[in-house]
């Protein structure tokens, strides 16, 4: 690094793949590295503190800058004086929130491009995703960069990543800026906080025994160090002079380990390496999709009240059951990329790095039941599972009082609501007038915070409503085109269910559904394995019956033709 100090920027620099890129850039002494991320300050892991990154930060060959990509002034500050920008920042792909993904993947990327053009940055390498060419329906085998963007993506993350990628490619050549996009496929390796931890969580919860689909779908997994290497190759190709740079710029590239493997075999190797059992029970994807849709809708309703992001979503079911393999020929030809860590070696390093998650050394803390997880593991779960008897009995008494005072008399909905609000208003008024103590008993006053709707919660609710509205509008657009028969079937089925539920009186709902809720989840928690086994047997029988019926219909049809 003789002469003038050269700087590069890594956005999302504290992310999984970005950390490895930062270490590689520092180790190769190519640039001084500016690590840009959302956090107000950088918090290093113990091994980072003692290693390359910690030393570089102390010596001044690396620095940290807090930057929100949605704020252009912060982006300009982060990119000032940089020769190269590696744009790796992106929200968690498992959160299907269109507004969040659009604000970062599209608007944030626009801000990065504008900053690069304005500050005369020479090169911009954008971390895209293979999902930009995946529609969630058709598998991809040995796909190359000639694949077009689909009319409809699998989820909002993929759609907005495609928009961001298109913006980066279009900006190539503006004010001397050279750009390209890297599409790393299914990254794994040490430091991953999503894939391996989620597999271990599923294994400890007893969910890792299931295979979604037939289990034969092929995947390209990419060791994280190869992903970092791919970014370095891209930067070196853009920095070259003449035809090498011209051929590399303005293009997108798939990056993989070049060793396709069955997706569920990869999962099995990870789980076995950590001491857990292999998945073995196959569940057809069409059986899981309606359940996943129900879970997703439940999350949209309960997210403002603390429900965690579910693992079971329609987009994830499609990802787990489709093939996705890609060719690296173009990256090899134009960037000079070849994997530097073979798949088996990467797998060994990954398993070794998660030794603390092995089955034999797992904490003895009792795992949460499935019933608790389904109910959000919060106050609702504690109430319906009778974890807090006082809280549950209070909820039961309140519901009984509501029933006899507002539901049983047969009031209309408007009358019932208005009477309830009247009673509530009287109670709050009287409670407010009561003295602090009566006959030596302290009267706890309700704090104002109990009625306060925080700005954060308001924001979450607004985002949830907007996301639901946008999803509904997109669904209506697809329905109007008349091409999506699967969507029509889902809508028709949902409306039939709604009409059935609408025919049930409020009295019947209170008398049947609520008592069942207070009993069914407790029974399920105690007889979890038996009930799961029974449900699985029923599903398997249903699938077999469906297959037999279809086979008979086909054979009859063929007989008539002959």
Let me know: does 524 contact 371? Beta carbons within 8 Å: yes
Q: How far apart are the first and last CA of the chain?
A: 79
Q: List the structure tokens of 32.
A: 């001084």
Please, what's the b/e burial string for 292-326 (b: 16 or more CB within 10 A of its CB; e: otherwise)? Answer: bbebbeebbebbbeebeebebbbbbbbbbbbbbbb
Let me know: does 547 contact 539? Beta carbons within 8 Å: no
CA distances in angstroms from 551 to 6, 456, 547, listed in the order given = 67, 54, 6
CA distances in angstroms from 227 to 23, 306, 367, 428, 508, listed in the order given = 13, 35, 35, 60, 58
CA distances in angstroms from 220 to 131, 140, 272, listed in the order given = 12, 10, 20
Distance CA 259, CA 344 (A): 10
Q: Which sign does the torsion angle of CA 244, 247, 251, 254 carry?
A: negative
Phi, psi of 328 (to 5 degrees): -100, 15
List alpha helices for 60-108, DSSP H.
72-79, 98-101
Distance of CA 96 to the CA centre of its chain: 6
For the chain, the maximum distance between any two Cα atoms, rounded to a whole number of angstroms, is 94
What is the DSSP annotation of 343-368?
HHHHHHHHHHHTGGG-GGG---SPPP
The residue annotated as part of the active site, out of 4, 72, 122, 161, is: 161
3-state secondary structure of 316: helix
CA distances in angstroms from 209 to 47, 204, 282, 289, 523, listed in the order given = 34, 11, 9, 18, 22
Tell which residue, 84, 81, 97, 102, has the closest CA to residue 25.
Answer: 84
Hey, how many other C-beta atoms are within 10 angstroms of the C-beta on 135? 16
Distance CA 76, CA 173 (A): 20
Let me know: does 194 contact 16? Beta carbons within 8 Å: yes
Q: What is the DSSP letter of 131?
A: G
Q: Which position has the token pair 């293979």? A: 130
Active-site residue, 358 included: no
Q: List the structure tokens of 322.
A: 């489709």
Distance CA 121, CA 85 (A): 8
Tell which residue, 67, 153, 159, 160, has the closest CA to residue 106.
Answer: 160
H-helix or E-strand spanning residue 326 = strand 324-326
The β-bridge partners of 187 are 222
Q: What is the DSSP letter of 323?
A: -
Let me know: does 67 contact 74? Beta carbons within 8 Å: yes
Distance CA 313, CA 198 (A): 14
Enzyme catalytic residues: 161
């Amino acid at each position: 690094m003789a002469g003038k100090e050269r700087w590069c920027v890594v956005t999302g620099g504290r992310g999984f793949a970005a950390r490895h890129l930062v270490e590689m850039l520092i180790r190769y002494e190519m640039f001084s590295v500016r690590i840009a991320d959302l956090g107000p300050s950088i918090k290093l892991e113990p091994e980072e503190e003692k290693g390359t990154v910690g030393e570089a930060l102390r010596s001044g060959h690396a620095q940290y800058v807090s930057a929100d990509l949605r704020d252009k002034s912060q982006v300009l500050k982060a990119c000032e004086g940089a020769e190269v920008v590696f744009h790796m920042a992106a929200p968690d792909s498992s959160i299907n929130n269109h507004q969040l993904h659009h604000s970062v993947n599209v608007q944030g990327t626009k801000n990065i491009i504008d900053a690069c053009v304005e500050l005369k940055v020479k090169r911009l390498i954008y971390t895209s995703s293979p999902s930009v060419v995946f529609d969630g329906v058709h598998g991809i085998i040995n796909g190359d960069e000639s694949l077009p963007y689909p009319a409809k993506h699998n989820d909002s993350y993929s759609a907005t990543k495609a928009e961001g990628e298109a913006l980066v490619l279009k900006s190539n050549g503006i004010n001397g800026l050279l750009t390209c996009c890297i599409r790393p496929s299914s990254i794994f390796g040490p430091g991953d906080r999503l894939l391996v931890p989620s597999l271990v969580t599923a294994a400890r919860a007893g969910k890792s025994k299931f295979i979604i689909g037939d289990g034969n779908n092929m995947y390209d997994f990419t060791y994280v160090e190869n992903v970092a290497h791919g970014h370095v190759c891209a930067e070196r190709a853009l920095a070259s002079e003449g035809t090498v740079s011209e051929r590399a710029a303005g293009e997108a590239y798939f990056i993989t380990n070049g060793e396709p493997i069955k997706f569920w075999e990869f999962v099995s190797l990870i789980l076995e390496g950590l001491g857990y059992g292999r998945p073995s029970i196959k569940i057809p994807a069409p059986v899981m999709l309606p359940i996943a849709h129900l879970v997703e809708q439940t999350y949209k309703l309960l997210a403002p009240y603390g429900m965690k992001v579910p693992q079971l979503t329609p987009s994830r079911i499609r990802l787990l059951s489709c093939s996705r393999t890609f060719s690296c020929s173009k990256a090899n030809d134009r960037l000079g990329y070849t994997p530097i860590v073979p798949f088996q070696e990467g797998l060994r390093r990954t398993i070794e790095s998660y030794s603390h998650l092995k089955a034999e050394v797992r904490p003895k803390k009792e795992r949460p039941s499935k019933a608790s997880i389904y109910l959000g593991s919060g106050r609702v779960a504690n109430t319906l599972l009778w974890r807090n008897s006082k809280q549950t009995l209070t909820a039961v008494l309140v519901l009984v009082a509501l029933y006899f005072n507002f539901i049983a008399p047969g009031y209309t909905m408007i009358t019932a609501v208005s009477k309830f609000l009247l009673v509530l208003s009287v109670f709050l008024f009287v409670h407010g007038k009561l003295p602090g103590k009566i006959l030596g008993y302290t009267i706890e006053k309700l704090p104002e915070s109990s009625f306060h709707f925080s700005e954060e919660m308001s924001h979450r609710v607004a985002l949830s409503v907007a996301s639901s509205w946008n999803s509904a509008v997109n669904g209506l657009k697809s329905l109007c085109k008349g091409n999506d028969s699967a969507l029509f079937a889902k809508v028709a089925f949902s409306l039939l269910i709604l009409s059935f539920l609408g025919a049930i009186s409020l009295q019947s709902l209170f008398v049947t559904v609520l008592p069942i809720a207070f009993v069914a989840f407790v029974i399920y928690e105690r007889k979890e394995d038996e009930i799961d086994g029974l449900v699985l047997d029923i599903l398997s029988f249903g699938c077999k019956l469906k297959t037999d019926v279809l086979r008979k219909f086909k054979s009859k049809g063929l007989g008539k033709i002959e």
